[in-house]
Amino acid sequence: MSQVKKAKHVILIGFDGLGAYAIPKANMPNLKKLMEGGSHSLEARTVLPSSSAVNWASMLMGAGPTAHGFTEWGSKTPEIQPYEVTKYGLFPSIFSVIRDQNPDAKTAVVYSWEGIGPLVEKDAIDVVYHGETEELCMAKAIEIIQEKETKFMFLHLSEPDGVGHNIGHDTPEYYQELERVDAKIGQLLDAVAAAGLTDDTIIMLSADHGGVGKGHGGKSLEEIYIPWIISGPGVKVNHEVKDLIMTYDTGATIAWILGLDMPKSWRGKPVLDSFK
């Protein structure tokens, strides 16, 4: 596993409302290239409810909602008293884990949904960028990649959730949106390659929830199953992870890749089966 530790950069791409159910049927060549070049599960699981803020928080905070306190789709403050808060004011996330243990490592969060803002420890992050559009977010993320200085970046993009709500999941329009999602994955992979960072960068891709009909938040597997994809140095190639993956394992996996200790209050586990 020593090769993993050579990764100089980790990029986590989160697509809001990208249901794992859709991926086998979708025309997503770049996403499938990432899957074939790395490890994946299409049966990673959300926490409940299968909604946005509660799941983004869990992904970044390595624990579930009754630990970190964010419990709803649009939680801006914890509805449950967190088990602990860091000096940055929230339950510990991967950002404070990095800042506290490796202060020289630069981090970034780039997001298109304003609801991400209240979930991240802004004073522990070097670049906090809220873009009004996905295009602005993509441009910022690519700029950050080109600068080659950021150890960990979380990029949140709002689609395909909007199409899921407005037109419906598992519709032709949803699959058309997934082609646009895939084009963005291609742009990011191209930017990493153009910066000469492909061999130094671990790319992770996931979602906060899937969906059914025009919504999500419920208990169907279409809402619960999220993609979990990882690719880069030290990662098994063309490998399907059969172990249970919970969304809070994402934060734990990033900490493990970067050689950092997890807070004792975290409940996520690194997805070790994805590594050589």
Q: Residue 73 or residue 129: which is nearer to Zn ion going by CB?
A: 73
> Nearest Cα to 38, choosing from 177, 206, 261, 259?
206
CB of 86 to Zn ion, least distance (A): 25
Q: Residue 38 or residue 115: which is nearer to Zn ion going by CB?
A: 115
Q: Residue 182 or residue 208: which is nearer to Zn ion going by CB?
A: 208
Q: Residue 106 or residue 209: which is nearer to Zn ion going by CB?
A: 209
Q: How far apart are CA 223 and CA 175, in angstroms?
A: 16
Phi, psi at 196, each rounded to 5°:
75, 25
Tell me the residue type at 203. I
Q: Which residues bind Zn ion (CB under 5 A)?
A: 16, 52, 161, 208
Q: Residue 16 or residue 159: which is nearer to Zn ion going by CB?
A: 16
CB of 166 to Zn ion, least distance (A): 14
CB of 51 to Zn ion, least distance (A): 6
Cα distance between the two ends of the chain: 6
Phi, psi at 141, each rounded to 5°:
-60, -40
CB of 194 to Zn ion, least distance (A): 30
Q: Residue 52 or residue 107: which is nearer to Zn ion going by CB?
A: 52
Q: Residue 218 or residue 234: which is nearer to Zn ion going by CB?
A: 218
Q: CB-based contacts of 222: which residues, under 8 Å, 6+ apart?
A: 19, 21, 169, 170, 210, 211, 212
CB of 56 to Zn ion, least distance (A): 8
Contact 97, 263 (CB under 8 A): yes
Neighbouring C-alpha atoms within 13 Å toward the C-beta of 56 = 29
Report the residue closest to Zn ion, judged by CB. Answer: 52
CB of 211 to Zn ion, least distance (A): 9
Q: How far apart are CA 135 and CA 147, in angstroms?
A: 18
Tell me: cis bond preceding 160? Omega within 30 of 0 counts.
yes
> Nearest Cα to 17, choosing from 51, 41, 43?
51
CB of 17 to Zn ion, least distance (A): 5
